[in-house]
Amino acid sequence: MPSCDVCKKDILASDFPDVTIGDVVSCPHCGCELEVISVEPLEAQALEEK
């Protein structure tokens, strides 16, 4: 099960039903921005501050 890079809480695929690779979503727990890097299985990583 994927987890948020920032708050380390689990992220459920049902939280983001219609995402595609490259989409930016907000963690349902801490609100940080995550970029979707895989859909099946769902994986997302925190966006790097630039």
Copy the structure tokens of residue 7: 């708050």
DSSP of 1-50, one letter per residue? --B-TTT--B--GGGSTT--TT-EEE-TTT--EEEEEETTTTEEEEPPP-
All domains of the chain, ordered by start, with CATH? Answer: 1-50 (2.20.28.160)
pTM for the model stands at 0.84
- pLDDT at position 50 is 43
- pLDDT at position 49 is 54
- pLDDT at position 2 is 86
* Per-residue model confidence as pLDDT tens digits over 1-50: 789 999 999 999 899 999 999 999 999 999 999 999 999 999 999 997 54
